[in-house]
Structure 1
Amino acid sequence: MDVGIPKPEYPRPQMVREAWMNLNGEWEFEFDDEDKGKKEEWFLYHSYSKRIQVPFAYQSKRSGIHITDFHDIVWYKREIDSKELVPDKRYLLHFQAVDYQAELWVNGIYAGIHRGGHVSFTFEITPYLKEGKNVITLRVEDDSENLELPRGKQFWKETSENIFYTRTTGIWQTVWLEPVNEIYIERIRMTPDVDRKMIRMEILLNKRAEAELAVEISYGGKRMVRDTVSIFKGKTVREFKLDQNINKEWEHKCYEWTPDNPVLFDVKFLLRTGTVPKDEVGSYFAMRKVSVENGRFLLNNRPCYQKMLLDQGYWRDSLMTAPDDEALIKDITLCKEMGFNGARKHQKIEEERYYYWADKLGFLVWAEFANAYIYSEKYVEYVIPEWIEAVTRDYNHPCIVAWVPLNESWGVDSIMCREEEQAHASCMYYLTKSLDTTRSVISNDGWNHTHSDLLTIHDYECGGEALQRRYASMERILKDMPANRTLFARGHHYEGQPVIVSEFGGIAYQKNADSGWGYASADSDGEFEEKYREVVESLLDSPLVQGFVYTQLCDVEQEINGLLTYDREPKLPPEKIRAINQGRK
């Protein structure tokens, strides 16, 4: 498949403008262990002693610093020459992700604050720019030991161990600058209706203005829809019907998006006030439907067996930051070569370019929040706004078929009995549904579910016969407790949801100098293949299981239970894994 990589790698593929400036590269950098930077006004006068390669966290090798000591407050500085800027434009400074709290100064003037380590945010910096050199200064605070903060797999000790990995502090995704006019498109929300063959578009401007919006939908360079829409008070909603423009060329092709047929429609938006162009944005969408009916998980109204991998989204030299687009493509391509149709991105809101390639290559994704570990009012204050930002940002990506706000009761470890923690899990379920009714939502992946669209189970039993017995009947599924946890929290019960074994396997196999652990072990290619076959075939043989998530894609730090090494080398030929996943002997 030809998937030509657009260069440079535009960080927001769902909403593309031609003009932008990539600010990755070398920045000045400083640790502020004594928290004196604000008092000493480092945003005005300070000689920074270090240099860092953005967007890599200082803990990573790619950053050029590569130390894992605790440094919870860090500062960044970079200059931009006004000669690089277009006159008479407004400038938006975008941060794709900064962990955890970021405060910005431009030319010594305070420009804003953002909290949340895994989502994108933007500051308009136009009022602070001047002729000549412009200085951008960022202070980031990330409490390494605060277990109320959403942190995912980032360990609260200096050395990683068990299932937890090296922390990420500061900028860890692309920083970029974007020129816009005084009126521009701020948000696009696209909802496909497969049954009616329509696409619903909601367009929001940056201000309550009146304008005209030209919309053009095409596929393969051939126009399917062209219309002009009036925008009143900065917002418009319009539906476009597609089937009337599908000609004979489409009779032998399905225009619905699936992993085997990832059809994407291109969209162009041209915003005008009178005859004056104000904004031009490119985007895309897919006709894709996710539903649960009569206890079955359906994709485009047809049963879909999800064969997925647990993917931590870590790399040896760059930690949570993908080295480049090729690395993202390689992960998805290897998964598909091994016979998987999706991934559960574990404890990490992934960068938008990952979702773009999953959209383009045809790859299902469960999008999961990075959880905290201690429940409190402060925890709730941290979690909910960031989760809303994540769901809102990534709503348009067709690859995402499920939202996972909580995993294994992390942050709500007394959910079995405590009413407030059950209420929180239900709140996260209904909050997500209030933002998006088009996808499945899993309340607490693994066990102790409250309200949930899927019954997901974490089961690291490695004996094939035991797995076959457990998943042969619903009575046994609901009775057994694979992790010594009930599948539902007290007061909640099974209501016919599809059953997905969303973690299993985890077979350790050492293929290089990396040592570590897994939930079972193998000492040779043959033993690894047989143990993998045993656990997978046990689930494929079940009349009740409708999908699985094998642990895991690749080795990560001290875990060597991947199908690939940490450097993404297959431990077995992909075709052997594929044959097992397809049920072939």
Structure 2
Amino acid sequence: MLTEERRVAAATAQDGRYPRPQLVRPDWLDLSGPWTFAFDDDDRGRREHWESSGSLSGVIQVPFPFESAASGVGDTGFHPVVWYQRTVLRDELPSGERLLLNLGAVDHACEVWVDGRSAGTHEGGSTPFTLDITDLADLGGDGDLSLTIRAEDDPADVAQPRGKQDWRHHPHSIWYHRTTGIWQPVWLEAAPAVRVEQLHWVTDVPAGEVTAQLRLSRPAPAGTTVRIEIALGAEPLASVEAAVAGREVEVPLRIHRQSNGQAYEELLWSPAHPTLLDATVRLQVPDAPADVVASYLGLRSAAVEGGRFLLNDRPLYLRSVLNQGYWPESHSAAPSADALRAEAQLILDLGFNATRLHQKYEDPRFLFWADKLGLLVWGEAPAAYAFTPEAVRRSIAEWSAVLDRDRSHPSIVTWVPLNESWGVQHLAHDPRMVSYAKALVQLTRTVDPSRPVISNDGWEHADSDILSIHDYDHDAARIAERYATREAILGAEFTFPGRRLIVDPAQRTDAPLMLTEFGGVSYTDDGPADAWGYSTATSPEDLVERLRALVGAVRASAPLAGYCYTQLADTGQETNGLVFEDRSPKAPIEELRAIFGA
């Protein structure tokens, strides 16, 4: 596998810092750290040309939102427009044919300047974008590189996909402090002019086949070839070289080892055995530098059948925990790359095999650790709170971009475009909203037919592959009775929240049933004055007893194919976590693991 053509280390061996873990290049520069910064509450920066005037007098630590303490600013007020500047020294720049500026996520809309000249714009607070800045930077001169970013995020604009970000000055109920501006990594990289812009892996487990789907930066010139190699450690599994034409390229590879039935299971990815295969892609244009990238993939299938969730064609009971992806010091941004690994490991240590990333498109570095450690993930969209053509346009655009970003991660086993009718609160009787929910499902299946899709997690389902239910009844006996039979579940009008389970007569009723939010038991020894949960424990021992009773009642339900407990960590005023905000457990971790890992 390690030929002279390979310039990059194995993608499975990365340390979790690289921001785009399934398309790795060796020549890159992390731009995390201090940038100059300014609020622009009067929105005068454009008129006064702050991109070239050096008017920013503050300092912020990127990539943390200014609302967080980690940013060094810690201002939670309304500041809808902010500016950033950073000078990159000439000898720091990655060396290559083209210089690319990558931004992981900037909430919500932004414009970028290079050396005072506009480089491009982007809309979508959770999605990545790349700008080729080679022709704007004076790379042949002796000067340094100046980067300027203007971000705009209107706190009152509820047509933006915003998830748990509060539109009020102070967090209330289940909403948290806002995330404005840069909140995921910013980095420079060197690459050829004709390069791999996006890379997806489509696996056919029974056939033992993998298809590499490449999108190139521009149409390939005549004579362009691509060579792809797949290996398990030092063992070569498949390789192919093919001619390339156009920008969209599909290359099939056969993993012959999978034809041996005795060894078939050894290469499959699962929580018990999260086997990842390394891949190298070498794109060669005649008389030009080759683009060599490292990637990885997992061989696995995810489906539903007979009222059960299937992984690799076998029933798997999902033991999941709701994860807000929010830290007290850095808010929606991860405090460090290591914190993302620790979060995935903590979930596994607590006994869960899955997590539902709630109302957030999570940092891809977390998904790398989920892939690496064997943690199943439910990918969920942050909601807008208006139902308007603009809200629909924005939500679909971001959802499509995240499907493009994340659909090759083997850890993601379910897509959730809507939750609890947020933004579509009249789904039960507005046919437009039903059409929208179904359209999101069909769009998702069109782009990625390899995973189950839930149209609206919690209730009011239309064309869902899994019928998921939210129920915060704290009485274990009532939970046991309510979920005793499939007929009782399908026929129930739940007292909380008083919603119908199905709103579309065409919705399949043989889909698996899952209780995807329950519990929410609050316990705090020194929490905020407005601390709350759906019920309250008085001590760690009381918390354990309540958890044991509730989870035991859920596990006793034969019709349920899995559950998701609310929630992993305390978040602001929500003190219903299994761990405190600092991720220390509220009860002995072995006792929690005995409850959730059974």
Residues 1:116 and 2:136 are matched in the alignment: no
Corresponding residue for residue 78 of structure 1: 86
1:313 aligns with 2:313: no
The equivalent residue for 1:103 is 111
Aligned equivalent of 1:160, options 162, 171, 187:
171
Which of 137, 142, 147 in structure 2 is aligned with 1:129? 137
Whether the 8 Å CA contact 1:80–1:135 is kept in 2: the answer is: yes
CA distance in 2, matches of 1:421, 1:78: 44
- 2:195 alignment partner, one of 164, 173, 184: 184
Provide the C-alpha distance between the structure 2 equivalents of 1:262 and 1:245, rounded to a whole number of angstroms. 17
Does the 8 Å CA contact 1:511/1:571 hold for their aligned counterparts? no
Shift of residue 252 of structure 1? 9.2
Contact residue 225 and residue 245 of structure 1 kept, 8 A = no
The 3-state SS of whatever aligns with 2:246 is coil
Q: 2:252 aligns with which of 215, 222, 239?
A: 239
3-state SS of 1:320 partner: coil
Query: Offset of 1:514 from its aligned partner?
Result: 4.5
Percent sequence identity over aligned pairs = 39
Count of equivalent residues? 580
User: C-alpha distance in 1, partners of 2:124/2:456?
Assistant: 21
8 Å contact from structure 1 (residues 257, 264) kept in 2:
yes
Aligned match of 1:254: 266
- Is the Cα–Cα contact under 8 Å of residues 206 and 234 in structure 1 kept in the other structure? yes
Relative to structure 1, the CA distance from residue 52 to residue 495 in structure 2 (aligned partners, 3 Å threshold; closer, same or farther) is same
Post-superposition CA distance 1:373-408 (Å, at most 9, x none): 110111112111111000111011000001111000
Q: Is the 8 A contact 1:511 1:565 kept in 2?
A: no
| In structure 1, C-alpha distance between the alignment counterparts of 2:94 and 2:186, rounded to whole Å | 18
Where structure 2 has 5 or more consecutive residues not aligned to the other structure, the ranges are 1-10
71-80 vs 238-247, greater mean Cα deviation: 238-247
Matches within 5 A, 1:203-352: 203-209=214-220, 210=222, 211-244=224-257, 251=263, 254-274=266-286, 277-352=289-364
Which residue of structure 2 aligns with residue 488 of structure 1?
502
Following superposition of structure 1 onto structure 2, how do residues 4-83 of structure 1 map, counting pairs within 5 Å? 6=14, 9-83=17-91
Corresponding residue of 2:213: 202
What is the deviation of 1:221? 1.8
- Where 1:310 maps in the other structure, the secondary structure is strand
Give the Cα separation in 1 of the matches to 2:453 and 2:15: 35
Are the equivalent residues in 2 in contact too, given 1:224–1:245 (CA < 8 A)? no
Where 1:322 maps in the other structure, the secondary structure is coil
| Contact preservation (8 Å) 1:503, 1:549 | yes
Per-residue Cα deviation, 1:110-149 (whole angstroms, up to 9, x for no partner): 1111110011111111111012122211111001011111
Alignment partner for residue 389 of structure 1, among 392, 401, 407? 401
Equivalent in the alignment of 1:562: 577
Uncovered stretches (5+) of structure 1, i.e. residues with no partner: none
Question: What is the match of residue 7 of structure 2?
Answer: none
Question: Over residues 153-172 of structure 1, what are the superposed CA-to-partner deviations in whole Å (9 max), with x where a residue is unaligned?
Answer: 00001111210001000000
Q: State the alpha-carbon separation in 1 of the partners of residues 368 and 16 from structure 2.
A: 15
Structure 1, 358-367 or 178-187: larger mean CA deviation: 178-187
Of the structure 1 ranges 269-278 and 181-190, higher mean CA displacement relative to structure 2 is found in 269-278
CA displacement, residues 17-68 of structure 1 (integer Å, 9 cap, x when unaligned): 0000111111110000001111111112142120000000000001000010
Counterpart in the other structure of 1:171: 182
Contact 1:488–1:494 at 8 Å: present in 2 too? no
Residues 203 and 493 of structure 1: CA distance in aligned 2, closer, same or farther (over 3 Å): closer
Look up the match of 1:447. 459
**1:253 deviation in Å?**
5.8
Instruction: Compute the TM-score of the two structures, normalised by the length of structure 1.
Output: 0.96
Equivalent residue, structure 1, for 2:423: 411
Equivalents in 2 of 1:512, 1:6: separation in Å?
39
Cα deviation, residue 88, structure 1: 5.7
Hey, what does 2:546 align to over in structure 1? 531
Moved more, 355-364 or 326-335: 326-335
Question: Aligned runs of 1:506-521 on 2, under 5 Å?
Answer: 506-514=520-528, 516-521=531-536
Structure 1 consecutive aligned stretches of length 4 or more whose deviation exceeds 4 Å: 3-8, 245-248, 490-494
Question: What do you get for the CA RMSD once the two structures are aligned?
Answer: 1.8
The 1-side partners of 2:258 and 2:267 are apart by 12
Going from structure 1 to structure 2, the CA distance change for 1:542 and 1:282 (only over 3 Å counts) comes to same
Letter in 1 for 2:576: N
**1:253–1:406 CA distance, 2 compared to 1 (3 A):** closer
Which amino acid in 2 is paired with 1:75?
A: W
Q: Which residue of 2 aligns with 1:550?
A: 565
Distance 2:426 2:234 in 1: 54
